[in-house]
Amino acid sequence: MRIFLSPPHLAGTEAEYLQKALDSKYIAPAGPLLDQLEQRIAERSGFRHALALQSGTAALHLGIRHLIDTRHPVNYPQPPLVLASSLSFIASIAPALQMGCEVRLIDAEEDSWTLDPVLLSHALAEARAEERPVLAVLPTDLYGQRSDIQAIHGLCAPHGIPILCDAAEALGAVHTVDHPPHPRAEIYSLNGNKIITASAGGLLVSDDGELIAHARKLSMQAREPVAHYEHCELGYNYRMSHLLAGVALAQLDVLDDRVMKRRAIFQGYQERLNGIPGISFMPEAPWNRATRWLTVLRLDSRESTCTPEDLRLHLERHDIESRRVWKPLHQQPVLRNLRMYTQGVSDRIYAEGLCLPSGSALTEADLERICGLIQEWICG
């Protein structure tokens, strides 16, 4: 049977929650389970407010839109400037670009694979020298690993620059430093390959009540709070459906278990493969307890002639899905004109990295089989 990269893993209680949603008669993007989901996500993430949406991309879109509306004067001669991680999925920055922002890309650092604060400080200094206000810094929490929010906050706070954190891949990961500063807003994804899923879905969280209230209004076509249909600004249809909120709640009940399972899978890979020359894994940064949403293998090109693409094809021939690390955004043809700050780290990680099957229902036998195939391929 095919082994997928990160398939959905049912909690077993989804049907009960769906029945509750049906019983409540709210077959709509409103209802008590949506309120419950938002409350529980806020509690869980430590933010005061949460908003449930159709996707993580929608959450990013609304976050950026609010910042533009509140921080970027109309008729300002230059587009809003966003500084974002280059080692990420294109959804991190597509909404900002679609909203007319200029995005500048920042490389990852070797020790965490997340946004490099040193390069960020260069980018911020350059923006200041150009007298360009920065709308937001947008770090990506990669593969279940938190960004260095302490360092990023230290650079942004003195200049009042908001941080919009793309934590789509990091729901369940926690900072281990005491009282880490909160970003202005953070987003999570509940799409089908995430650590928990509602088949689709996204969450926007923030301590800023105005931001969440505005995003909530925008997510429902920006209808004004009057009896008839009145619109003073343009919105979107982005609210999560009540039925999916039920599925999300069932999944949220098992999030801690899923984190434990994914971390155990990572450990299983590490124990079986660590001794092989040239093999290493994505490091866990000291400021967090990562979820290991995906276990990422790295093949040192100086020690091994086997490339991640060779290995991916080898596993594919055995009906096992693996996936190359994100191709850095600065290498994407559609983004070739963006300014970037890089020292080649994400280029190397892309050239050497492979995401291995990490679904929380993966069995010991699956792990044995996958690791056996990797060993066989690399060691000949």
Query: Which residue of 88, 145, 295, 342 would you call a contact of ligand PLP, by CB under 6 A?
Result: 88
The bridge status of strand 323-324 relative to strand 353-356 is: antiparallel
Cα dihedral 350, 354, 355, 356, rounded to 10, equals 180
CB of 294 to ligand PLP, least distance (A): 10
Residue list 282-341, contact with ligand PLP (CB under 6 A): none
Q: State both tokens at 23.
A: 């019983």
Nearest Cα to 109, choosing from 287, 266, 279, 264? 287
Quick check: helix, strand or coil at residue 183? Answer: coil
Position 95 contacts ligand PLP (CB under 6 A): no
Please say which residue, 6 or 304, places its beta carbon nearer to ligand PLP: 6
Cβ count within 10 A of residue 14: 18
CA distance linking residue 103 with residue 91, whole number of Å:
13
Query: Which residue of 55, 114, 197, 358 would you call a contact of ligand PLP, by CB under 6 A?
Result: 55
CB of 54 to ligand PLP, least distance (A): 8
CB of 183 to ligand PLP, least distance (A): 14
**Percentages (nearest 5) of helix, strand, coil residues in the chain:** 40, 15, 40
Contact pattern from residue 273 through residue 292 relative to ligand PLP, giving x for each residue in contact according to CB under 6 A and a dash for the rest = --------------------
CB of 220 to ligand PLP, least distance (A): 18
Please say which residue, 323 or 348, places its beta carbon nearer to ligand PLP: 323
Quick check: helix, strand or coil at residue 250? Answer: helix
Position 113 contacts ligand PLP (CB under 6 A): no
Please say which residue, 94 or 371, places its beta carbon nearer to ligand PLP: 94
**C-alpha distances in angstroms, 306 versus 5, 144, 299, 357, 378?**
20, 26, 7, 19, 6
Residue list 162-201, contact with ligand PLP (CB under 6 A): 166, 168-169, 189, 191
Chain contacts with ligand PLP (rule: CB under 6 A): 55-57, 88-89, 91-92, 140, 166, 168-169, 189, 191, 202
